[in-house]
Structure 1
Amino acid sequence: MSTSQIIRRAIRNLVWMFAHSWASAVFGLATFAVMARILGPEPYGIMALAALVFGVAGVFVGAPLTESIQQRDEITNVHLDTTFWLNSGLTLVFAVVIALLAEPISALIGAPAVAEVLPALSVIMLFSSLEGVPGALLQRELENDKLVWIETASELLTTGLALVLALLGFGVWSLVISMAAGTLISVAGCFYASKWRPGFSVSVTAFRELFAFNRDTVGTYFLGYVDDAIPRFLLSLVGGERAVGLLSIAGTISGSLTGLLMGPFNEIAMNVVARLQSSRRTVHELLDRVFAMTTAVIYPATLGLAIVSPLLIPLVIGDEWIAAVVPLQIFLVLGIRDATGTFNIAILRGVGDSRSPLIILSLGILFLFILAPLLLPYGVAGIATLIALRTFLTWPVSAWLVQRAAGYSAIRQIVIGWRALIASLGMVAIVLLVNFHMPAHWSEIARVAVMIISGILSYTGLMFVVGAGQVREIREGIGWFRNHHDGAVEPA
């Protein structure tokens, strides 16, 4: 594909993916608000700790083996068949081991209730592994619009079924059973959309050709798992399933917001950069345009939600979740880094640098071990702070590694959205002032509505004053995307 064709496909995918993200968010928010009130923190804590167990398998199967399909310039049926059967075989081994050792594993992580769901989740993991290769093929060809349809069907069934089962009193099993149904739809959809079927042309040569990239990918996923597991494991020891559930929901809400606003960019980042890696100039221009937009949206959205969350969380999901407010606010502040830094590993892997992510993750784990003894006594809020500090401390290193591998300035990555940040901080000050002067007898709904409206108006005004330069960059970026989408430009 030519450069313009790649960008055209990327733009088409972004449109589909943003439409899907926003539509599913409206539906998901409504059902989540109901389910969170019905189930409470414990079932979500059980599922989060179960994910900790399956994360070990996720280091060696799934994406660690299939990402090489997306990154390679040339791929054959032999590569695809070898990856499929290797992935399926290893997943079967992990599924059997986890199912047989469910009780000892649950005792090890200090959560006996997890043992009940591990065998069922093992079977789900086995079926889920089947979609790895066809899903990777769709992503490789930038056919994410097809994945959107599959994910939409899966999410509608999963969310609706989970809600019905929760209302019927199934507890944590409402989450497990709905996950199983969604997995079956996703697997069937990926095979149908990709038109690919597994054969038996397994080759040791193909395995060796893929191994160099897969080896580093496995290392990256292993360190990523350790990096993610340490905080949850420590919290489970001192706070149990409830504390982990609170942390999990705080992470889910903050992650959903950033995913809603920039998730589609992140999903296609590695594939687009991989297809454009021979044209560094185009990659730099693309990142400039994307970062100008993401910082202008993420900064006010995350900081704005942080200041309204003390009123919004109990209003939407109930007083039982008030303890999740502070960790949620801490996670939301990470939006300052996520607007640009969340792409770094995808960019590095897109240009074929599979070693630098290992450095970033290793450094993050080191920070976790250093800071954990200081922050663990503060419970959920302390662990959230631990995660935030680790993320901010590794940001400059990851930015420098992107500069070294892709030639995109580290300083520019960090400061590109400074105008939007100043406007967002000004917005925060104005909203807090408005909240302070609101009559005490106003309802929480009215207070939240006024805070949101004042935030939107104040940020918009400040951006046209303080952030006029960034507004101009966004307009130019929209024109740049339009030119490439229309095929009017073919960069060198």
Structure 2
Amino acid sequence: MSLLANAKWNSFSQFFKIGIQLVNIVYLAKLIPPAEYGLMAMALVVLNMAILLRDLGTSAAIIQRKELTNSLINTVFWLNTFMGLALAVIVVLASPVIAEIYHQPKLIPVLMLLSITFPLSSCAAAHLALLERDSKFKKISGIEISSSMVSVIVAVVLANLGYGVYSLVFQAITLNLMSAIQFWLASSWRPFLREFIKLDELKSIFGFSANLSFFNFVNYFSRNADSFIIGKFMSVFILGNYSLAYRIMLFPLQSLTFIASRSLYPVLSRSQDNNADISKTYLNCVFVILLITAPLMSGLALLSKPFVLMVFGQQWSLVGDILKCLAPTAIIQSVLSTAGSVFMAKGRTDILMKLGIIGTILQVGAFLIGVHFDIITFALLYFVANVLNAFPVMYCLLKLINSNFKDLIVKIAPVVGATIVMVVAMKFTIAHIGIDFISTFPRLISFSLFGGAIYFLSIAILSTQVRGVIKSVARKKYS
């Protein structure tokens, strides 16, 4: 299946999940107070780290390998399954200690319940990897959509019954249970016991998987150290606000970059020896990602305050201030998050691991400095760290595929120019009408459409690629 076909089905699944996330963020935030969201954020710090150890990069190795044996798949399956069970036990036993670190005894039952998700997801990891390797994203999207739908219904019902943070907990359990069952049914492969875990098969993927696992592990700290540090040294209330702002920021990151990375990896793996094809495909992918994320997140940064007050209410007003710094960060991360697909497809997880260490030092360093100030300064330093991290990542990536910064700049220059024009036009208008004028949904939507129209006209003028697409669509419509 081609990249476009992969992207089509991944987009269908992801945009449906965006709707589910909107229900989570908008509707559930009205029923669950910030402190309860803070508890879930604290639990996720622990769970996200355990998720990295659950797989050890073995599923990615299944997709990347040119030749795949049934023995290797079986070895990966049993390794993942035992890791999932072991992590569940470890989290249960460690939950009192973790709760004591946070000074939140309510975390103990939350962590114990969430530990169930590890064996559920790990026992289906190999089946999912096989489906992705064969680009069967139509099946995958159907499974993810149905699982997300059922899990959010569970969360909404429980939240209305007053279960607070446990509505989010059982949402996660339901999602993993439904997904595991359906991935098993969708894949024809079944595990067997006669050879169990073969050390020779593990050795054959050790270098790839070990470097990828270490990268994921250090990347965990750069992505979750903020929640741990805020929860430890600030307050649950601030963490709840930051967590919500971060989830809003992740929308383009979890949607567009998820679609791009998931669609890219199997395609690039099949073309791993052809740098010209990889370079062309990757630069086009970056262009499309920035085409959407740059204006979207720039507009959100400008309109964060009225957006948050209207959508979430006065109790979440701090989120608007935090978003002004986090929204631009999403633009950078939306590009950097796709870089892993290239390094993995080329089999150079060793470079990816080293870049992960650099990124972690920059971001955790920014957090440790920012925690001595307020949450706005904290978020601003997070943005600065991402800017600094972008340079070594893109340099190594472009060099690996025989490309350079000039190719990248030429490719994205129209998007950058059009976004600047849009931002200047919107700021000029706000300066004359006042931000308080945008105090109702019709005005917020109208002003957003105004910014979108400015951007569309600008990108159509500046980008030959966009003009080509417009002309192609017009010819098909009127031919």
- Alignment TM-score, normalising by the size of structure 2: 0.92
Question: What SS is found at the alignment partner of 2:374?
Answer: helix
Q: CA deviation at 1:185?
A: 0.8
Q: CA deviation at 1:132?
A: 0.7
Distance in 2 (alpha carbons) for counterparts of 1:442 and 1:214: 51
Question: What SS is found at the alignment partner of 1:221?
Answer: helix
Deviates further, 63-72 or 115-124: 63-72
Q: CA deviation at 1:349?
A: 1.1
Asked if the contact 1:111/1:241 (under 8 Å) is kept, the reply is no
Distance verdict in 2 for CA 1:365–1:151, change over 3 Å: same
Query: 1:115-264 residue pairs with structure 2 within 5 A?
Result: 115-200=108-193, 201-202=195-196, 203-264=198-259
Summarize deviations over 1:78-116 as a string: whole Å, max 9, x none: 111111111111221221121022111221244332212
Match of 2:329 among 329, 334, 349: 334
Asked if the contact 1:292/1:473 (under 8 Å) is kept, the reply is no
Query: 1:342-491 residue pairs with structure 2 within 5 A?
Result: 342-414=337-409, 416-438=411-433, 443-465=439-461, 467-472=462-467
Deviates further, 256-265 or 416-425: 256-265
Distance verdict in 2 for CA 1:385–1:457, change over 3 Å: same
Deviates further, 238-247 or 80-89: 238-247
- Structure number with the bigger relative contact order (C-alpha 8 A, sep ≥ 6) is 1
The reply to whether residue 94 of structure 1 matches residue 87 of structure 2 is: yes
Distance verdict in 2 for CA 1:266–1:153, change over 3 Å: same
- Alignment TM-score, normalising by the size of structure 1: 0.90
Distance verdict in 2 for CA 1:111–1:385, change over 3 Å: farther
Asked if the contact 1:254/1:331 (under 8 Å) is kept, the reply is yes
Q: CA deviation at 1:247?
A: 1.9
Distance verdict in 2 for CA 1:188–1:282, change over 3 Å: same
Deviates further, 168-177 or 306-315: 306-315
The number of aligned residues is 472
Deviates further, 440-449 or 157-166: 440-449
Residue in structure 2 matched with residue 488 of structure 1 by the alignment = none
Distance in 1 (alpha carbons) for counterparts of 2:99 and 2:310: 34
Distance in 1 (alpha carbons) for counterparts of 2:409 and 2:392: 11
Asked if the contact 1:135/1:190 (under 8 Å) is kept, the reply is yes
Residue in structure 2 matched with residue 14 of structure 1 by the alignment = 7
Distance verdict in 2 for CA 1:218–1:259, change over 3 Å: closer
Distance in 1 (alpha carbons) for counterparts of 2:306 and 2:187: 45
Structure 2 residues not aligned, in runs of 5+:
none
Distance verdict in 2 for CA 1:477–1:371, change over 3 Å: farther
Measured on the aligned residues, the alpha-carbon RMSD in Å equals 2.4
Whichever residue aligns with residue 349 of structure 1, its letter is M
Distance verdict in 2 for CA 1:213–1:442, change over 3 Å: closer
Asked if the contact 1:235/1:379 (under 8 Å) is kept, the reply is no
Asked if the contact 1:435/1:447 (under 8 Å) is kept, the reply is no
Distance in 2 (alpha carbons) for counterparts of 1:233 and 1:454: 39
Deviates further, 49-58 or 348-357: 49-58
Match of 1:297 among 272, 278, 292: 292
Q: CA deviation at 1:289?
A: 2.4
Distance verdict in 2 for CA 1:56–1:31, change over 3 Å: closer
Residue in structure 2 matched with residue 486 of structure 1 by the alignment = none
Q: CA deviation at 1:474?
A: 5.6
Distance in 1 (alpha carbons) for counterparts of 2:425 and 2:330: 19
Question: What SS is found at the alignment partner of 1:101?
Answer: helix
Deviates further, 44-53 or 129-138: 44-53
Summarize deviations over 1:361-390 as a string: whole Å, max 9, x none: 211222235434432123332332232222
Asked if the contact 1:44/1:172 (under 8 Å) is kept, the reply is yes
Residue in structure 2 matched with residue 487 of structure 1 by the alignment = none
The reply to whether residue 68 of structure 1 matches residue 64 of structure 2 is: no
Distance in 1 (alpha carbons) for counterparts of 2:456 and 2:174: 43
Q: CA deviation at 1:287?
A: 2.0
Determine what percentage of the aligned residue pairs are the same residue.
22
Distance in 2 (alpha carbons) for counterparts of 1:328 and 1:61: 32
Q: CA deviation at 1:226?
A: 1.9
Match of 2:318 among 315, 320, 323: 323
Q: CA deviation at 1:350?
A: 1.2
Match of 1:114 among 107, 117, 121: 107
Summarize deviations over 1:30-59 as a string: whole Å, max 9, x none: 453111011022222212211211233223
Whichever residue aligns with residue 79 of structure 1, its letter is L
Distance verdict in 2 for CA 1:54–1:29, change over 3 Å: closer
Q: CA deviation at 1:12?
A: 1.5
Whichever residue aligns with residue 143 of structure 2, its letter is I
Whichever residue aligns with residue 298 of structure 1, its letter is T
Structure 1 residues not aligned, in runs of 5+:
1-5, 483-492
Deviates further, 263-272 or 124-133: 263-272
Distance in 2 (alpha carbons) for counterparts of 1:327 and 1:411: 33
Q: CA deviation at 1:326?
A: 2.3
Distance in 2 (alpha carbons) for counterparts of 1:208 and 1:215: 10
